[in-house]
Amino acid sequence: MQEVLLLKCGELVLKGLNRYRFEDTLLRLARNRMKKIGNFDVWSMQSTVYVEPVGEQDMDRAEEAALKIFGINSVSRAAACQKDIEEIKKTAWEYLKDRLRPGMTFKVDAKRADKKFPLTSPQIGACVGGYLHDMMPDLVPKMEEPELLITVEIRDKAAYISFERKRGAGGMPVGTNGHAMLLLSGGIDSPVAGHMMAKRGLELSAVHFYSYPYTSVEARDKVVQLAGIVAEYCGKIDICMVPFTEIQLAISKNCMEDYFTIIMRRMMMRIAQSIAEKKGCGALITGESLGQVASQTMEALNCTQAVCHMPVFRPAIGLDKEEIIQRARQIGTYETSALPYEDCCTVFTPRHPQTKPRLGKVEEQEAKIDVDGLLERALEGVEWVTVG
């Protein structure tokens, strides 16, 4: 008896004539993900990706990795066997006997994708269910909400018996909708935003701004760890580390204090856009949520947006903090984000920031610093780190 993984495709099945492009990308992503775990044959057929171990492999790790592949709607572990009803019955008992117990309610749901198979779906379900009941007479058949729902699928290559379907990551395969640059701080919001946009098929790169000596090496390492967690879902992420201390000192020395944050954000967006263009990205991604902090009011966002000519995706814009924290916990970034290391956005926070800045006034204050020179020197000092 061989155990395999059945990965059911998500919304890409709704695609039309270009569906093959999405399926090819998904198959490549699945193969790359499994290659890091061991030796697996990975192929697709009938809107399902099959992951079959070659020799003894760690199926727990393979299942965990499969659950994080965008484009997969559900993941099932299944026992494969020949398309013969006697083999199917015996395999079902061997595979499930340790999970069955006297008095348990169960149901067998059969799906006959191979219409050449001699038995109909109801007949298959009745045969397998009857055999399991014969082997353990205390089992209780129940058609509605049984404790154990057993699925028998008759497909082109083999028959598959499974008992649990786990919800997959959903979304679209990474890379099918382009490439974007994530502004990654060390907080809770930006990793969630990156995950949300990767789920829509975007390949991610990231830019992080640090302010030595005001921020520590631990704060930088924290960002790398966060990117690594997001990369478990979307694959490799290149992170551009940008020195930001000179820019912040220039702003704090020359500009009115209540405009510090807005001007700082505008400088970040300029730098991120420049790096994004060189990296071939078509958009920026931020973790901003409307009204969460002073720099995220509608007026402040308008002033920040004014320096950009490429789209800025803000997937968390309508989420409250509790919703963002919940998503961070789900994807595994919350504990790392909550580590108490300062990021550059909190080091030079003004006491009374502008919440309704006017663009003209912001530009008037910004004119007091050497924008072009500061940007040039910051870009000269960047370093790249790759995770995933």
pLDDT digits (tens, 9 = 90+) for 146-161: 999 999 999 999 999 9
Strand partners, 141: 106
**Separation of alpha carbons 141 and 71, rounded Å:** 34
User: Are 46 and 52 within 8 A, CB to CB?
Assistant: no
Asked if 338 contacts 229 with a C-beta cutoff of 8 angstroms, the reply is: no
DSSP state of 259: G
- Band the pLDDT of 227: cuts 50, 70, 90: very high
Query: Confidence band (pLDDT; 50, 70, 90) for 345?
Result: low
pLDDT tens digits, 256-274: 999 999 999 999 999 999 9
pLDDT value for 189: 97
Alpha carbon of residue 27 to chain centroid:
17
Strand partners, 67: none
pLDDT confidence tier of residue 253, bands split at 50, 70 and 90: very high
- Ranges of each domain in the chain: 2-167, 179-387
Question: Contact at 8 Å (CB) between 173 and 201?
Answer: yes
Q: What are phi and psi of 360, to 5 degrees?
A: -60, -40
pLDDT of residue 15: 85
pLDDT for position 378: 97
Q: What percent of the chain has pLDDT over 70?
A: 98
Q: What is the pTM of this model?
A: 0.91
Find the mean pLDDT for residues 217-233.
95
Tens digits of residue pLDDT in 119-151: 999 999 999 999 999 999 999 999 999 999 999
Architecture of domain 2-167 in CATH? Answer: 2-Layer Sandwich (3.30)
pLDDT at res. 16? 81
Q: pLDDT at residue 290 above 90?
A: yes
Count of residues in the chain: 388
Average pLDDT over the chain reads: 95
- What does the pLDDT average to over 2-18? 90
**DSSP helix/strand/coil, 342:** coil
pLDDT of residue 346: 60
Given this model, what pLDDT does residue 342 score? 66
Q: What number is the average pLDDT over the span 243-256?
A: 95
pLDDT value for 215? 84
- What does the pLDDT read at residue 295? 87
* Residue 116 DSSP SS3: coil
Q: Which of these, 187, 140, 176, 141, lies nearest to 339 by C-alpha position?
A: 187
- Say if domain 179-387 classifies as CATH 3.40.50.620: yes
If residue 355 lies in a helix (H) or strand (E), which one and from where to where?
none
Residues 86-121: tens digit of each pLDDT? 999 999 999 999 999 999 999 999 999 999 999 999
